C-alpha cells in the first residue's frame, strides 16, 4: 500500500509527479492515464497503483505482477514534438528508468531495441507507450511501466525470460525509493524532450545497448529479417545490414543470434 504523502515526501521535480494519483488497485494505470489525457489533466501527471487488475502489454496482452512487490505506474506527458520524433519517447522512458535502477542497485542495465530493459540478460521492466494523435498533432503520450522489483516467482513460461531486481541481486529493494529516483530521472531528461533534443538520450541508450554490431533476427508476423544491427536512425528505427542491402526496421521482436 502506498500513501500519497509518503511518495511525494522529499520528491524534488519540476514537472513529473507534481500531480500524483495513487491507487491500491486499478484496472490499468495506462487506461487511467488515457482517461486523464482525454480529460485535459496537466503535463507530468503520474498514476501509480499497488496492483493492476487488468494490466496490459502490447495488443492487450495481460501483464501479471504480484501485489505489493513491483512498481506499476504511468506518466501523462504533453510535449510539443515534431511528428517524426514522437517515437523517441520510447528511448526517453528506457534511459530514465535504466538510470534510476542503476543508481539504486549499482548494477548495469542493458537496453534492447526498442524498449526492453534487461538485468543479467533477462527482462526486468516492461514499457508500454501510447500516443494519441489528431491528424499530425500529438495530443498526449502515456508512458506505462512495470518494474519487477521484489517478485521472485514468474511461472514456468516466463522464468527464462523475466526477472526482478531482487531475484538477480539477492536483496529486497525499497519501491518508494526507486519510484522517486525514476520520477527524478524522467524529470531531468524531460528538459531535453521539451526542447525536442534527443541527442543525450540516444547516446545514453546506445551505450547500454549490446546488440549493435551483432547478428539479429527480427520477427514481423509471418516475415523474418536477418542481418547485422548497424545503428539507430534519427527517428529511432533500427538499421539492419542484410544480404539485400540496408533496411530500417520499425516493428518486430528482435533476437540476438548467438
Partner 1 sequence: MDLAYVKKVIKLVEKSDVDEIEIEEEGKKIRVAKHRNSQAVYQIPNLSLPAQPVGAPALPAASQTAEIPPPKTEVKYHEIRSPIVGTFYRAPAPDAEVYVEIGQEVKPGSVLCIVEAMKLMNEIESDVEGKVVKVLAENGKPVEYNQLLFLIDRA
Contact residues toward partner 1 (CB under 8 A) are 38, 58-61, 83-84, 86-87, 89-90, 113-115, 127-136, 138-139, 220-221, 235-237, 250-251
Give the whole-angstrom CA distance, residue 92 versus residue 190: 8
Closest approach, Cβ 47 to partner 1, in A, equals 17
Closest approach, Cβ 83 to partner 1, in A, equals 5
Query: Which three cell numbers mark 242?
Result: 542484410
Complex with partner 1: residue 133 or 214, whichever CB lies closer? 133
Closest approach, Cβ 152 to partner 1, in A, equals 26
Complex with partner 1: residue 220 or 246, whichever CB lies closer? 220
Q: Cα separations (Å) of 80 from 26, 37, 135, 188, 222?
A: 29, 14, 14, 17, 36
Closest approach, Cβ 28 to partner 1, in A, equals 12
Closest approach, Cβ 117 to partner 1, in A, equals 13
Complex with partner 1: residue 4 or 250, whichever CB lies closer? 250
Query: Which three cell numbers mark 134?
Result: 489528431
Give the whole-angstrom CA distance, residue 202 versus residue 42: 26
Complex with partner 1: residue 88 or 166, whichever CB lies closer? 88
Give the position of cell 494519441.
132
55 secondary structure, DSSP code: -
Complex with partner 1: residue 22 or 202, whichever CB lies closer? 202
Closest approach, Cβ 50 to partner 1, in A, equals 25
Complex with partner 1: residue 17 or 252, whichever CB lies closer? 252
**Beta strands in the chain, from DSSP E residues, in sequence order:** 20-26, 45-52, 71-77, 110-112, 116-119, 122-134, 137-147, 215-220, 223-232, 238-242, 245-249, 253-256
**Beta strands in 80-214, from DSSP E residues, in sequence order:** 110-112, 116-119, 122-134, 137-147
Can you count the helices (H) and strands (E) in the chain?
A: 7, 12
Amino acid at each position: 500500500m502506498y500513501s500519497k504523502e509518503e511518495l511525494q515526501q522529499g520528491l524534488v521535480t519540476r514537472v513529473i509527479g507534481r500531480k500524483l494519483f495513487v491507487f491500491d488497485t486499478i484496472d490499468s494505470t495506462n487506461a487511467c492515464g488515457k482517461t486523464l489525457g482525454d480529460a485535459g489533466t496537466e503535463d507530468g501527471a503520474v498514476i501509480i497503483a499497488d496492483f493492476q487488475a487488468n494490466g496490459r502489454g502490447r495488443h492487450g496482452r495481460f501483464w501479471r505482477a504480484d501485489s505489493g512487490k513491483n512498481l506499476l505506474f504511468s506518466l501523462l506527458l504533453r510535449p510539443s514534438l515534431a511528428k517524426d520524433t514522437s517515437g523517441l519517447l520510447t528511448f526517453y522512458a528506457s534511459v530514465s528508468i535504466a538510470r534510476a535502477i542503476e543508481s539504486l542497485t549499482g548494477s548495469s542495465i542493458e537496453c534492447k531495441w526498442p524498449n526492453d530493459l534487461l538485468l543479467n540478460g533477462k527482462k526486468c521492466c516492461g514499457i508500454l507507450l501510447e500516443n494519441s494523435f489528431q491528424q499530425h498533432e500529438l495530443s498526449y503520450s502515456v508512458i506505462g511501466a512495470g518494474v519487477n522489483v521484489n517478485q521472485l516467482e514468474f511461472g514456468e513460461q516466463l522464468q527464462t525470460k523475466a526477472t526482478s531486481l531482487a531475484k538477480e541481486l539477492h536483496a529486497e529493494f525499497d519501491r518508494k525509493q526507486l519510484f522517486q529516483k525514476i520520477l527524478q530521472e524522467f524529470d531531468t531528461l524531460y528538459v531535453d524532450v521539451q526542447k525536442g533534443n534527443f541527442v543525450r538520450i540516444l547516446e545514453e541508450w546506445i551505450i547500454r545497448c549490446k546488440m549493435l554490431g551483432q547478428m539479429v533476427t527480427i520477427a514481423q508476423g509471418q516475415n523474418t529479417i536477418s542481418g547485422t544491427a548497424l545503428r539507430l536512425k534519427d527517428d529511432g528505427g533500427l538499421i539492419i545490414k542484410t544480404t539485400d542491402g540496408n533496411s530500417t526496421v520499425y516493428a518486430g521482436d528482435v533476437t540476438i543470434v548467438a
